[in-house]
Amino acid sequence: MTYIDFNPYLNGEKNKSILTATQATEESTTFAFSADEADFSFFNKLQQNGIYLNKNQAKACQHINGPLLTLAGAGTGKTTVLVARTSYLLYKGISPKNILIMTFTKKAANEMIERITKLTNPQLARQITSGTFHSVFLRLLRHQGFNQEILSEKNKLIALKIILKQLNLQDSYKPESLLATLSLLKNRMQATEELPEKDATQKQVKKILLKYEAWKKQTNKIDFDDILLETFFLFKNNKRLLTMMQQRFQYVLIDEFQDTNPLQYELIKMIAKPENNIMVVGDEKQCIYSFNSADHAIILGFERDFANVRVVTLDVNYRSPASVIGLGNEIIKHNKSTKSGNLLATKQNADKPMYLRPSTTTDEATAIVSEIKKHVASGKWQYSDIAILHRTLANSRSIFEALVQEGLPTISYSNGEMFYETAIIKPVIDYLRLAMNPEDMKAMSTILPSLYVNKETAMRFIEEQQLFYPKDRPLLHLLDMPNMKPFQKKKLKEVFALLQKVINKNPVSAIKEIRSSFYDKYLETTDKSNSLHKEMMIEALDELLESAKGHATIFAFVSYVDSIISEHQKMTEQGREIAGDAISLMTIHKSKGLEFPVVFLIGMSEDMLPHKTAIHADKMEDIFQEGEPFKQKMLALEEERRLAYVGVTRCKEELYISSPTYYRGAKADISRFLLEAFKMEKKQSVWDCTNSTCNGWMKVDNTADDKKERRCPFCKSQMMIADKAVLQ
């Protein structure tokens, strides 16, 4: 099985060939300045440091006063422009103490200041205030006397677990989901006290969150979201302090503006007043963090929120081949919520993206490993040239295991989380371990929460009883544990019978039995707050079944899992040593802002990318999350399309895309994002939705239709007859 020249239509359907991006003109890629220009010495210094700005980059750089929106497409040199513009402000005599640079990572802030020091007086550069939103505003809070301890993620979870136990709700909600809900509310500036109580679940969640907030206040603690919220209220209630901040930071620069959430944006607007000397740099086509409260409507509405905004578009891509940029342009143009146009190319490269339609994700992984080994052996590639990008952790299981089995050096950027050791999957594996060895205490500890008993109390009792009254099946000691309720004893007996039942089954049948008997239901009842999280849990469990298919016995499967876990641990330990030459395996989200010579974008099939949670977003019912179902689905699909765009535009030289035909045993269509990019378009008369945020349209059947009134089947808005370019 080999990759072919890119075209997802393999059966001769009517389609267009891949479009290469338009080549940037010499005028758009160069900025000519003469020796008699006032800024000659500045631009000459830039060029001496290897920075050659193009025409639009120079426009953004030379802007001083008033709001500036810089729409910076993928690979267009946005960081260079931010560095050059900051240096230009210093060159024009602006005090470094009056400059504030906000980034989304500490690393980005440090790198920016480091680059600025090479272009100007290092002492001046180091007087600039730069950092993440949280670091900058935490410094302010500390200066204002806020001495609260900052809670770590781990301690937040521990605190919430204790509260859930106090309320006897530890089996009803997952702390992670509750904290995600709370974070979303705070980043929208919504007070916990104002949450609705329309049903029992909302009432319970509100009670839990209020108790958590009260505990923080009593113990003098805050979390990261509180840093921004406390600053917001501080500015609202202390006009003198806000005025001081406005006078101090007269020039504000914001990086990755498309990732801004409503709370961050309010803080930006507060500080920028009254002069509004604010420069924001971002790309609405790369807004992919809505789960972190990022709202791409903010960058789209910037011109509405500020008067006399100057807009500069950076559309010359210096990273990718023309054919890769062409594919990216064709993918993203189907998003309605977009502002900037197509990217232009500077690279002339004969290599077109390559495409594969493998049967399964296992075949996909085999083909990728084969391709990598072939090109590394020939000397064409190094391992460090290669990135393999996937949508979710579950999607990466097959390729990760193939890389491990072949011994290819790989760094997995999954926050240390390994598929078989996630909170959802590990208990199922440990049920299989217990079926084989009823005395496996580690496995027993993992499965206890699914029996609705307190893990610490139950394990202490089992270990004490086993010491004095040993049993072949120590789990049965729980039948004698004080305060065990009848339903808990019943559940224990059911699980004990289940373990005896599955021991002789193959692993697929055993896992199905565990899931259908109780595990899926247990997961559903332990997380009432987040339907998106439930979908991800089901996806992970379905992937576990797929993994088990290649093994005849439970013993063989668990042994295989242990070998993969062991290899993953070795790879993690060796990470620093192999970092110089290793394949990068990461989610598309993790890849944002990075670039690689060779990119494998895997899983470009329906339900994978776009993910099924987006395809069915209109059916998701998350607590406190309200809105029109159609709009939710449209926004979710547009974000998935932006993800596909980000994945494609990470490539510097060679791009490989694959779309498995079957996904976990079910037929999987090629991703709509690829099909849209290759289908022919033809203008025809249609009923078109008048709602600017809706893509709905219907065919005009006959002339009599012209006189009828139509409502959009999606958003119910009025429709009108119009000419529209329709995919054929």
d(CA 651, CA 353): 10
Is 76 annotated for ligand binding? yes
Is 79 annotated for ligand binding? yes
- How far is residue 285 from each of residues 2, 28, 85, 126, 694, measured CA to CA in Å? 32, 21, 23, 33, 17
Is 416 annotated for ligand binding? no
CB 388 within 8 A of CB 413: no
What token pair was written down for 386?
A: 């290669």
In three-state secondary structure terms, 374 is helix
Residue 238: which residues within 8 A CB-CB, separation 6 or more?
none
Is 78 annotated for ligand binding? yes
d(CA 583, CA 457): 44
How many helices (DSSP H) and strands (DSSP E) are in the chain? 31, 22
Is 145 annotated for ligand binding? no
CA 76 to chain centre: 22
Residue 567: which residues within 8 A CB-CB, separation 6 or more?
404
Characterize the bridge pairing of strands 354-356 and 4-5: antiparallel
Type of residue found at 124: L
What token pair was written down for 629?
A: 């179902």
Determine the Cα angle at 84 with ends 82 and 90, to 5°. Answer: 105
Is 92 annotated for ligand binding? no
CB 322 within 8 A of CB 35: no
- Among 179, 180, 175, smallest CA distance to 161 is for 175
Residue 447: which residues within 8 A CB-CB, separation 6 or more?
427, 430, 431, 434, 495
In three-state secondary structure terms, 92 is coil
Binding-site residue set for ATP: 72-79
Binding-site residue set: 72-79
